[in-house]
Amino acid sequence: MGGGSMRELLDDLDRWRNAGKRCVIGRVVGIEGSGPRDPGAAMAVNEDGEVVGSVSGGCVEGAVVAEALDMLREQSAAKVVTFGYSDDEAFAVGLTCGGTIHLFLQELS
């Protein structure tokens, strides 16, 4: 399973949009330490919890899905979330690489 780029996601996003599903795009905007993906890696989550793409090779995807579904529920348009070993234990989701990854999440309008 490789990392997703925006181009790889577009077919699925078109399909979701044609089906009238809301979705959130997550893009890597910054990495500290040995991040598992380069900035620019992307994934998308629709309101049913379906996922395309990858931002970390598996270690934070579950947490990203939870954030995305929260955003759709709360009608929140965009936010930046950080995953990794930080002071905020809520996000210590076990990045296998020990790095920190910053994601920009945005609902696709």
Domain boundaries, the chain: 6-107
The helix/strand/coil state of 17 is helix
* Chain segment 43-102, per-residue pLDDT in tens: 999 999 999 998 876 667 888 999 999 999 999 989 999 877 544 444 445 455 567 888
Name the one residue in this structure whose structure tokens are 């699925």.
12
Q: CA 62 to CA 75: how far, in whole Å?
A: 20
pTM higher than 0.85, yes or no? no
Q: Closest by alpha carbon to 99, among 28, 20, 27, 48?
A: 28
